[in-house]
Amino acid sequence: MKKVKKPLLLLLIFSITLGCNRSHPSSQTAKATDSAIENRIKNMSIEQKVGQMTQINIDVISKGKIYNLIVPHQIDSAKLDTAINKYFVGSILNAAGYPFTRKHWKKIITNIQEKAVKEGSKTPILYGIDAIHGANYTVGATLFPQQIGLAATWNPEIVEAAASITAYDVSASGIPWNFSPVLDLARQPLWGRFFETFGEDVYLAKTMGKAFIKGYQGKDVGHPHKVAACLKHYVGYSYPLSGKDRTPAWIPERMLKEYFLPTFKAAIDEGALSIMVNSGEVNGIPVHANKELLTTVLRDEYGFEGIVLTDWEDIIKLYKDHHIASDMKEAVFLAINAGIDMSMTPNDYSFNVALIELVKEGRITEARLDESVRRILTAKQKLGLLDNPYPNFDDFPKFGSEEHENKSLQAAKESITLVKNKNILPLSTSTKILVTGPGANSLNYLNGGWTHTWQGEETKYNTIGKKTIQESLKLLSKNITYMEGSSLDSNINTLATLEEAKNHDVIVVCLTEAPATEGPADINSLDFPKAQQNLVRELSKSGKPLVIITTTARPRIMRDIEPLMDAILLAYLPGNEGGTAIAETILGLNNPSGKLPFTYPKYQGLNITYDHKHTEKTNRFLGQTSSLSEYDAKFKGQLYQWDFGYGLSYSNFIYSNLKMDKKSYYKTDTLKIEVTVTNQSEIAGDEVIQIYCSDLVASITPCVKRLRGFKKTHLSANQSKTIKLSIPVKELAFVGSNNKWIVESGEFKLKTNKLTQNFEIKEKVVVKK
C-alpha cells in the first residue's frame, strides 16, 4: 500500500465521514434536512402543495392525444409549461405505450427536470414507472422471470439480485421510482395478476418481498443505482370473490391481519418508501376511502412514513364506479381524509381543481396538505432529487451486460419446476425431438404482460437476439424438428404434426396462454383451451413419450390430459432467457430445482390452498361409500394436482436425522432445527429444505400446516449436508378471536419432507406485529 501524505489523508478521512453520513445521517444533518423541507412547504402556495400531490401520465405533456400520441414520441413544451407553471405537478409516470431508448429517456427526464427546478414551485419531479420484471419500458434492459417465477426459485439471493439489476436499469433511464413489488397473495388463480405475485404463502411472499426492497433500495436509496420501491396493492386486491380484476373482496378482519397485511408490514419494516393502494373494495368499502386501513393500520399501527399513492384513476372511480361519492370533489374529500398522499389522476387536472376548492372552502385543512407534501418532499430528499435531479446517464456501464443477462438466466433456470418425470428427462442431444405447441416459438409467451407494452403482446418490440424454446433447443442439438401444431385456441396442423411424430423419439409440447395483465387478463375458466388439450390427446396416439412445457400466468387445469404426459416442466413466465433455460433443462444442462409457490388446482371449482383447515381435507360424498376408510382411500390425493412447495429434481434427495434442540419452548425461545440431506445420485443439484409447523389444538381452528422456514442449498453428487434453521417461537403466532396475534401453549408438530417431530409450547405468548 502506498503511503498517503498527511493533508491528503485528512481529506480522505473527511470525505469518508461525509459518505457515511449520507447513509446514516447524524441528528444535526436530519434536522437540517427537516428544516429545508419545512421551509419549502412554508413557501408553497395551496396550489403548489396540491401540485406536489398530483401525478399525471406522460401523455398529458406529450404531442398528440392521450392514448394516441405522435410517433416518435415528443414532449409538448406548451403542455409541459401548463403542468409545471399552472398546476405545479409533482410527479409524472409512464412511457408512451412502448419502450424508449436510454437516449430518449435522457432527453425526456432532462427536459422535465430543467423546467421543474427553474419554474413553477422550483421542485424536481418524482418520475415513476412500472418496471415489473426488469426495466420493461427501456430498450435493451435485462428482463427477468415474472414474480411468480422468482418465487418458484425459493432463493432470496437471486430475487434480490434481480431487483438490484432492475433498479440499476431503471436508474439508467433516469427514473428514481419503481411501482413494484406486488405483495398481494396469489390465493385466487382466476385473478389476472396472479403471475405478478410471490405466490400464495405469507412467509414465502414476506421473504421475497424483503429481498426485493433490499435490491431496489439498498442500504442507501439515494445511491445513483437505486430506486424507491412501491408496495402493491395495499390491501386485499388479489382476492376478489369473482376472480375478476378490481372487483369486490370479502375478507374478515382476522384473515386480513393474518394473511394479507403481513407482507406489507414486513416490507415497511425493511424501509419501503411508498405504497400503491388497492383499486377495489374490501368488505364493501373502497380502499381508497378506507381510513381504517390507510391511516389507523398503515400509519398508527405500522408506523409507515412514506407516500401513499392511488392507482390509475382510482379517486375518479370512487364516484364513477364505486358510487360512494356524487362527484369528483366529494371523491377527493373522501380519499384525502382517508389518507391518500398522491393522486395518479392521471389524464387531467380534475384532482387539483377539486382539492384546491376543498381547501379554500375549509373542508380540508392546509395542514392536511402539509402532511402529504412533507412525505413527498422527504422521499425526493432521500432519493437525492432535491440536491441533484439530473442523473449521470454515463454511469451505467453494465446496462444490458452479459453479467446481467447471466443473472436473469440463472433466475429462469432456478424457477423451472419439474412436477412429473417417468424417467424421461433429461433427454440426450442424440434423441430425435419434435417440438410443437403455441408456446414453442414465441418470446411474448415466455414474458407475459408488462413486457415492452402494458399487455406484452406486441412482437415488434421484442428484444433482438433472444431465443424462443424451439430456437434454443436447435442451438444445443441438431436433432430438433419444429411444427406449430396449434395456436392458442385453434388447430393449425395437428394431424400433420402427429404424422411427423413417427420420425422422432420424443415429443415436446409447449402449452401456454396469451400475455395480458389487469382487466384484459380476466378469464372465465382455468382449463387450457380445447385446441391445446386436443393437441396433447392427438399426439399421445403416437405412442411416443410426451414432455410438456407450460409457460402460463397462473395454473391451468390439466387433470384430464395429465395422465397422457410422461414429464411436465412448469416454467411460469421465465422472461427473455426462458427459452435457453428451458432448453438446457430438457437436455440436462440444468438440474431443475424450482418448487411450487402455490397449490396447483386439479378441479375448476375447487380452489384450495396448502394451509387449508382440517375440515377441508375431506370431500362431501360420504353417503356414496360404505365406510370412512373406503371413502378416504377413494378421495385421497384428489384435492389438488400438486401441493405447494412441490418440485422434483434429476437428483435424489434423502432426508434423515431430524433434530430439535429441545422438546419444550417458552415465549422468548427460538426453535433450533437440524436435518441431514443427502444427494443419493451422481447428479449435483439444489434442494429447498422446507419447515412446516402444525398447531395441533387451538382456539381458532388451526391450518393443517404453515410454512415457517426454508433454505436452499447445493449438494454435489453423493454429498450429505446438515442443514440448520431457526424459528422464533413468536413466528408460530396466529390471529386470535380478539384480532390480536397470539401463540397458545400446547402441542405442535414440525415437519420437513416426510420427517416429523412433536414439541410443546409451555406458555401463552401475545405477539406484537
Euclidean distance between the first and the last CA atom of the chain, given in angstroms as a whole number? 50
Question: What is the rounded distance in angstroms from the CA atom of residue 41 to the CA atom of residue 45?
Answer: 8
Asked if residues 340 and 289 have their Cβ atoms less than 8 Å apart, the reply is: no
8 A C-beta contact, residue 49 and residue 355: no
The torsion of the CA quartet 332, 334, 340, 344, rounded to 10 degrees, works out to -30
Distance CA 463, CA 245 (A): 29
Beta strands 567-570; 417-421: pairing state: antiparallel
DSSP-based three-state secondary structure for 221 = coil
CA 116 to chain centre: 32
Beta-bridge mates of residue 182: 232
**In degrees rounded to 5, what are phi and psi of residue 619?**
-80, 180
- In angstroms and rounded to an integer, the radius of gyration of the C-alpha atoms of the chain is 27
The DSSP symbol for 436 reads: E
- Burial 561-600, CB ≥16 within 10 A → b, else e: bbebbbbbbbbbbbbbbbbbbbbbbbbeebbbbbbbbbbb
Alpha carbon of 601 to those of 146, 523, 604, 731: distances in Å?
Answer: 20, 16, 7, 28
The Cα–Cα gap between 395 and 309 comes to 30
* Separation between Cα atoms, residue 287 and residue 289, nearest integer Å: 5
Rounded Cα gap, residues 366 and 26, in angstroms: 30
Query: How is residue 180 written as a grid cell?
Result: 413494484
What 3-state DSSP class applies to 456? coil
197 burial via Cβ count (<10 Å: 0-12, 13-18, 19+): buried
Q: How far is CA 567 from the centre of its chain?
A: 28
DSSP per-residue string spanning 228-289: B-EEEEETTTT--TTSSTT--B---HHHIIIIISHHHHHHHHTT--EEEE-SSEETTEEGGG
The Cα–Cα gap between 432 and 403 comes to: 33
Strands 274-277 and 230-234: parallel
Q: What is the DSSP letter of 109?
A: H
| Catalytic pick among 59, 311, 314, 611 | 311
Tally the C-alpha atoms within 13 A of residue 126's C-alpha that lie toward its C-beta: 33
- 311 catalytic residue (yes or no): yes
DSSP 350-388: HHHHHHHHHHHTTSS-HHHHHHHHHHHHHHHHHTTTTT-
708 Cβ neighbours under 8 A, 6+ residues apart: 203, 691, 692, 693, 727, 731, 732
Backbone angles phi, psi at 429, to 5 degrees: -70, -15
C-alpha triplet 620, 625, 630: angle, nearest 5°:
100
CB-CB contact of 189 with 601 (8 Å):
yes
Distance, CA of 210 to CA of 231 (rounded, Å): 11
Beta bridge partners of 252: none
- What positions carry a catalytic annotation? 311
